[in-house]
Amino acid sequence: MAKQKVRDTALTTLLKIEQDEAYSNLLINRAVEKNHFDSKDTAFFTRLVYGTVQRKNTLDFYLNSFLKKEPELWVRVLLRLAVYQMAFLDRVPDRAVLHESVEIAKRRGHKGISGLVNGVLRAIQRKGFPDPANVKDPVEKLAVETSHPKWLLDHWLSQYDQDTVHQICEANNTLPEVTVRTNKVKTTRDRLLNDLEGEGIEAEAGTLAPEAVKITKGVVQHTSCFKNGLLSIQDESSMLAAHALDLQEGMKVLDGCAAPGGKTTHIAQLMNNTGCVTALDLHKYKINLIEQQASRLGLTNIKASALDSRKAHESFQKGAFDRILVDAPCSGFGVIRRKPDIKWGKTAEDIRMLATVQTEILQALAHLLKPGGKLVYSTCTIESEENEKVVESFLKQNESFSWDTTLADRLPEKLERYMVSGEGQVQILPHQFGTDGFYIAVLRKEEVR
């Protein structure tokens, strides 16, 4: 009965993702809380939702050979959910999948629909899955095999070689690692590892950032280490943005697109809770998230305000800040592993529109940087149109800015080979270190002479 409820809830969640374009990670968290799933049911439910969204293209390829006409959306989604379990979950017996799927179809539909679901799934059992290797077009074949939209693969192939694109796609279909950032204002990484072990959490030192810890087993949000502000959950590649700023104690720093506050609080910690970090975001409720994080972490040097960063010049004087972080809104194609619905909800036009917004934010905030100061532009995408091209365009229009060639000094040596032309920028891809895909550029404003 428990597994039936999990599957039924998974179908409801998948339909919300499909119809409302809601974020899968938020819906999963809400559903787990609402239904009071235990740890095993939570793991199964999460796997069902993420896996079905992740493999949608492949699942539709399998199904289309067995469907004579297009069913209602909820039936299509129910069949995807069933086929995902049959194709990708070895420990789930087909008979259980078939029985539960037919029962859900009976409850939600009528005899004809349950008969359709039963017929399609039994036909797949008898005949097996169609082979994507038979698809002649190589890009379409990759789209089916790795379950990515073809337009996105064409887009990536214009930027990266075929082997790299294939590795990006494969990485996007793996489970993301959970990493946390040590709050060095309160503890050290070694002490945190010790404390986590004492609470039954298996963890190890991270790969890229000096305060990073990888969680290999256990739910870290339930620990006293989390509740007492000894750590924050953050991907390791995004931790490098604060390091790229070249911070010193007592500085005035602006985080122009701050919510939910991961990088804001990291900046505050790297300055040892001194100076002032001004955090801006469009929405008041997101400002509350930043303030809650700062409070949990024991940070008092953060001032958060609801403000469109493109209008920041109306509230702050020219040259008011020593450092500025522009962690720009982006397509998010570097975090598909964590949010698989992203790849189905975006278009090429979205990339072009975002590049315009990113340029506007960068131009608006640049005036607030002191001469001699440094500005970091970062995104969690792997799109050159949102990354290098935005920065290169900005540099052409702002002669007082140039690349900060000291960036490599603040990054791990292993990242040197991933520096993009011009030593002030680096592009991390999802398959390289098991982290999110992430872009960082550092610009320096020339001093007045």
Residues annotated as part of the active site: 380
Distance, in Å, from the CA atom of 364 to the CA atom of 373, rounded to the nearest integer, reads 16
Q: Evaluate the CA torsion angle 377, 379, 382, 386 in order and state its sign.
A: negative
Count other Cβ atoms within 10 Å, centred on residue 186. 18
Distance, in Å, from the CA atom of 401 to the CA atom of 119, rounded to the nearest integer, reads 65
Residue 412 CA, distance from chain mean position: 22
Torsion of CA 379, 383, 385, 387, to 10 degrees: 30
Between the two ends of the chain, the Cα-to-Cα distance in Å is: 75
Coil, strand or helix at 278: strand
- Are the beta carbons of 338 and 176 closer than 8 angstroms? yes
379: β partners: 439
Coil, strand or helix at 270: helix
- Are the beta carbons of 238 and 428 closer than 8 angstroms? no
Residues in the chain: 449
Kind and range of the H or E run holding 340? none
CA–CA–CA angle 415, 276, 281 (5° rounding): 75
Distance, in Å, from the CA atom of 36 to the CA atom of 17, rounded to the nearest integer, reads 21
Q: Give me the DSSP letters along 230-264.
A: SEEE--HHHHHHHHHT---TT-EEEETT-TT-HHH
- Are the beta carbons of 241 and 440 closer than 8 angstroms? yes
Distance, in Å, from the CA atom of 421 to the CA atom of 395, rounded to the nearest integer, reads 14
Kind and range of the H or E run holding 70? none
